[in-house]
């Protein structure tokens, strides 16, 4: 087992630490105490995580003399709607919170985004601590301050930037995570290598399978490296006016595929990101930005660990290129009606591309959805 590691997201007065290691939930009280303005927190979690990890977390707060109450929402993306958000806010307010009370998000990305947005808005802003319990949340959603809920018009369309005061990524929490969730999180790990760190990707190629299977040392290494890369990007571009958009690699395709499949269990966010990253490499190769063998290399790795690499057959095979393209136009990065894509020149070398012509994209999507079909 490796010792806990501490990284910093450098944002001036709003800088904060990310602690990555084993046994952190059991030590949470001592780790949280220095960042709390009041020895009181409200823990927001989901019912599944509450059953698995809340008692240990609460005992550790109690041992540090931190008063705590918990509110649990149902697990799953459906909790990120307006109705659950309203109920959560009312439940937290009913506890008689004060401005110095902190919100702790104990759970995956759903809890992090929902509790984070509640923290951003309750009493015009409460401190937030993220205690991510999924791989996806540990490597991505708990870091960087994006919080949001979903609208009937799309995912994550109502939210705020609200940085946490601390992130505690306890690798041990991943031991209870179902394999499919681990794999979904692993897609976001691969993302960092693909956009920015070829060496990391080349470490993942042989070691990724062990990480997914349960190797705690590999998991800690992957979470630490992913968080370091994200911290660097967020520190340089907190509000996504430039390079932070690279973190959306695979997401414009991915969000559209998630929307097309109903944001349900049929296609998890991380699975959609894996498909989206493969589509981004395939399109990059088709447009001559990268070699076809690079796209094939990515496909081999994603498939080897068990992630999907082709959208063909999704939504019962009814999905059309036109429908997918229409969904992609709802992306937050659309500017003057034009879709912004993150493409790649090579592994570790992603770039922002605003000039893929809509007909070329339509043709590419049609071929991806129906691999046997001849392109125009």
Which one among 24, 25, 32, 77 touches ligand NAD, defined by CB under 6 A?
77
Task: Tell me the window of 28-36, 240-248, 314-322, 327-335 that interacts with ligand GLY (CB under 6 A).
Answer: 240-248
Query: How remote is the C-alpha of 355 from its chain's centroid?
Result: 26
Which one among 108, 254, 276, 311 touches ligand NAD, defined by CB under 6 A?
108
The residues carrying an active-site annotation are 124, 146, 188, 230, 240, 244, 248, 251, 255, 269
CA dist 184 and 140 (Å) reads 12
What is the full DSSP assignment across 311-323?
Answer: -TTGGGGT--HHH
CA dist 101 and 82 (Å) reads 23
Establish if 284 lies at the interface with ligand NAD (CB under 6 A): no
Return the residues of window 32-71 that contact ligand NAD according to CB under 6 A: 46, 48-49, 52
CB of 47 to ligand NAD, least distance (A): 7
CB of 146 to ligand GLY, least distance (A): 5
CB of 23 to ligand NAD, least distance (A): 14
Establish if 332 lies at the interface with ligand GLY (CB under 6 A): no
Per DSSP (E only), the strands in the chain are 5-9, 16-21, 40-46, 67-73, 102-107, 128-132, 146-151, 154-161, 166-170, 341-346, 349-353
CB of 140 to ligand GLY, least distance (A): 5
Establish if 247 lies at the interface with ligand GLY (CB under 6 A): yes
Do the Cβ atoms of 273 and 248 come closer than 8 Å?
A: no
Strands 16-21 and 40-46 come out as unpaired
Do the Cβ atoms of 136 and 184 come closer than 8 Å?
A: yes
- The 3-state secondary structure of 165-202 reads CEEEEEHHHHHHCCHHHHHHHHHHHHHHHHHHCHHHHH
Residue with smaller CB distance to ligand NAD, 50 or 366: 50
- Token output for 337: 């009606």
Establish if 144 lies at the interface with ligand GLY (CB under 6 A): yes
**Footprint of ligand NAD on this chain (CB under 6 A)?**
46, 48-49, 52, 75-77, 80, 107-111, 113, 133-134, 136-137, 140-141, 144, 146, 155-156, 173, 176-177, 181, 184, 269-270
């Amino acid at each position: 087992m490796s010792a806990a590691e501490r990284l910093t997201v450098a944002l001036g007065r709003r800088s904060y630490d990310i602690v990555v290691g084993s046994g952190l939930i059991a030590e949470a009280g001592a780790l949280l105490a220095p960042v709390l303005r009041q020895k009181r927190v409200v823990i927001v979690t989901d019912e599944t995580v509450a059953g698995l990890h809340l008692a240990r977390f609460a005992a550790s707060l109690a041992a540090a003399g931190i008063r705590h109450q918990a509110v649990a929402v149902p697990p799953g993306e459906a909790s990120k709607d307006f109705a659950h958000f309203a109920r959560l806010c009312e439940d937290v307010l009913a506890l008689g919170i004060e401005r110095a009370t902190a919100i702790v998000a104990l759970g995956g990305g759903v809890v992090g985004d929902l509790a984070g947005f509640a923290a951003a808005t309750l009493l015009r802003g409460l401190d937030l601590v993220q205690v991510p319990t999924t791989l996806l949340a540990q490597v991505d959603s708990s870091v960087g301050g994006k919080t949001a809920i979903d609208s009937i018009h799309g995912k994550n369309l109502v939210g705020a930037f609200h940085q946490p005061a601390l992130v505690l990524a306890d690798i041990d929490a991943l031991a209870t995570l179902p394999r499919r969730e681990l794999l979904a999180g692993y897609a976001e790990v691969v993302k960092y290598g693909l956009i920015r760190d070829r060496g990391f990707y080349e470490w993942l190629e042989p070691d990724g399978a062990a990480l997914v299977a349960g190797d705690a040392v590999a998991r800690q290494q992957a979470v630490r490296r992913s968080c370091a890369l994200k911290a660097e990007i967020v520190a340089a571009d907190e509000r996504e006016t430039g390079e932070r958009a690279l973190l959306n690699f695979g997401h414009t395709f991915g969000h559209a595929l998630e929307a097309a499949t109903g944001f349900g269990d049929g296609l998890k966010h991380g699975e959609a990101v894996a498909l989206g990253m493969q589509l981004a490499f395939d399109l990059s190769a088709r447009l001559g930005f990268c070699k076809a063998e690079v796209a094939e290399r990515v496909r081999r790795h994603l498939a080897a660990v068990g992630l999907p690499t082709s959208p063909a057959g999704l939504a019962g095979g009814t999905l059309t290129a036109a429908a997918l393209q229409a969904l992609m136009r709802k992306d937050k990065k659309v500017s003057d009606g034009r879709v912004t894509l993150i493409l790649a020149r090579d592994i570790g070398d992603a770039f922002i591309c605003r000039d893929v012509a809509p007909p070329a994209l339509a043709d590419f999507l049609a071929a991806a959805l129906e691999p046997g079909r001849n392109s125009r």
